[in-house]
Amino acid sequence: MRMSRLAFCRIVVFCMLPASCLPAAAQTLDVKGLDPTGLDLKGKVELTNSGHHVRDDSKTVVWLTPLSNMPIEAARPQKASEIPKLTQKNKSFQPSLLVIPVGGKVEFPNQDPFFHNVFSLFEGKRFDLGLYESGTTRFVQFDKPGISYIFCNIHAQMSAVIIAVDTPHYAMSDVHGEVVLHEVLPGRYQMHVFHPAVSPEVLRAAEREITVSPGETFLGTISLAESSLEVAHKNKYGRDYDPPDPENPAYARP
């Protein structure tokens, strides 16, 4: 098979570099050629509450950010058909947890027969969509990584979380606690974990550095204890909500 002069030169330059000059990923790979194949990594999440295992181990998000000088595949442009929805229905957000790549949009359709006012002013993406009526919708672009806590300024019981990540390596656990991250290149990563019912202190303790190498495809078991405390949030003005939900005609469907 003939090889182009450019390809031959690239291989020669690569082979002549000392190991100390190579990225950490290239030093640890059992490489067959210059295009290593990513690995499918599996993990197991175990949630407990008051010392007892819960029946539903879903909604744990795991994502990996590289620690070495590794190329990360850029997220492809988001198609209109791929924009996820955080729907307002029955005075709740459905679903209550979304994970998207940085730069992605989320749609916020109102399917309740009254007004909502979606906002996020505390962490992650800060926005306030204002009052909008049944049958209308809004869009928000999440242009930086972070965890955004989403609320409604009218209905205190409504809450959701959107996580924007700057890596293609992320996944959410299923009801059995199974997590699978696809096409992860060998190298060093920081593993991040999130669950909406777990305290920030426990989540930080679950973070760790991992090394992905051929033949090692199990992330291990991630044990998390749910918090039994519910922290009340303020409205967008920093004040307490009116109890109960306001039945003011101003918020009813016109």
pLDDT averaged over the chain? Answer: 83
Structure tokens at 147: 């965890």
Instruction: Report the percent of the chain where pLDDT is more than 90.
Output: 69
pLDDT at 245: 53
Arithmetic mean of pLDDT, 39-51:
95
Q: What 3-state class would DSSP assign to 93?
A: strand
Average pLDDT score over residue span 112-116: 96
| Statement: residue 71 has pLDDT above 80 | no
pLDDT confidence tier of residue 75, bands split at 50, 70 and 90? low
Whether 244 shows a pLDDT value over 90: the answer reads: no
Comparing CA positions, the residue from 94, 245, 251 lying closest to residue 155 is 245
Cβ contacts of 6 within 8 Å, gap of 6 or more: none
**205, containing H or E segment:** helix 200-206
Residue 23, burial from CB neighbour count under 10 angstroms (0-12, 13-18, 19+) = middle
Going by C-alpha positions, the residue among 227, 184, 172 that lies closest to residue 70 is 184
Query: Distance from first CA to last CA of the chain, Å, rounded?
Result: 73
For residue 90, the tally of other CB atoms under 10 A from its CB is 10
> What tokens does 177 get?
């606690």
Residue 236 contacts residue 121 (beta carbons within 8 Å)? yes
Residue with tokens 């990513």: 38
- Give the pLDDT confidence of 162-221 residue by residue, as tens digits: 999 999 999 999 999 999 999 999 999 999 999 999 999 999 999 999 999 988 899 999
Residue 159: CB partners within 8 Å, gap ≥ 6?
93, 96, 149, 150, 151, 233
Confidence at residue 10, expressed as pLDDT on a 0 to 100 scale: 40
Domains of the chain, first to last: 39-71+79-225 (2.60.40.420)
- What are 118-136's pLDDT values in tens digits? 999 988 999 999 999 999 9
Q: Which two tokens stand for residue 136?
A: 């209308």
Collapsed DSSP state (helix, strand, coil) of residue 107 = strand
Comparing 82-96, 152-166, 238-252, the range with the smallest average pLDDT is: 238-252
Please give the model's pTM, rounded to 2 decimal places: 0.81
Other CB atoms within a 10 A radius of the CB of residue 118 amount to: 25
Element (H, E) at 184: strand 178-184
